[in-house]
Structure 1
Amino acid sequence: MVRALAVLLAQLAAAPIVSETVETGERRFVDLGTFECRDITRSTVLQRVCYDRARRDLIVAIDGQYDRYCGVAAETVDSLLGAPSMGQFFNRNIRRETAGSRYGCRA
Structure 2
Amino acid sequence: MVVLLKQARLLSCWVLLLVSVSPLYAETVEVKYRGPVDLAKFECSGELDSSVVKRVCYNAEHSYMLIRLKQTWYHYCEIDQGTVSALLAAESKGRFYNSSIKDSGTDSKFSCRDKPVPDL
Provide runs of 4+ in structure 1 moved above 3 Å.
1-10
Show the counterpart of 1:28.
35
Match of 2:79 among 61, 72, 81: 72
Q: Which residue of 2 aligns with 1:46?
A: 53
Count of residues paired in the alignment: 107
2:101 and 2:19 map into 1 onto residues whose CA distance is 39
Which structure's CA Rg is the greater one?
Answer: 2
Mean alpha-carbon deviation: is it higher for 26-35 or for 96-105? Answer: 96-105
- Using the TM superposition, name which of 30-39 and 20-29 deviates more: 20-29
Q: TM-score, normalized by length of structure 1?
A: 0.82
Would the aligned equivalents of 1:93 and 1:99 in 2 still touch at CA under 8 Å? no
Range 44-53 or range 20-29, more displaced: 20-29
For 1:51 and 1:5, locate their aligned partners in 2 and report how far apart those are by CA, in whole Å.
38
> What TM-score results when the alignment is normalised by the length of structure 2?
0.75
Q: In structure 1, how many angstroms separate the alpha carbons of the residues matched to 2:12 and 2:49?
A: 36
Aligned-pair RMSD on alpha carbons? 2.4
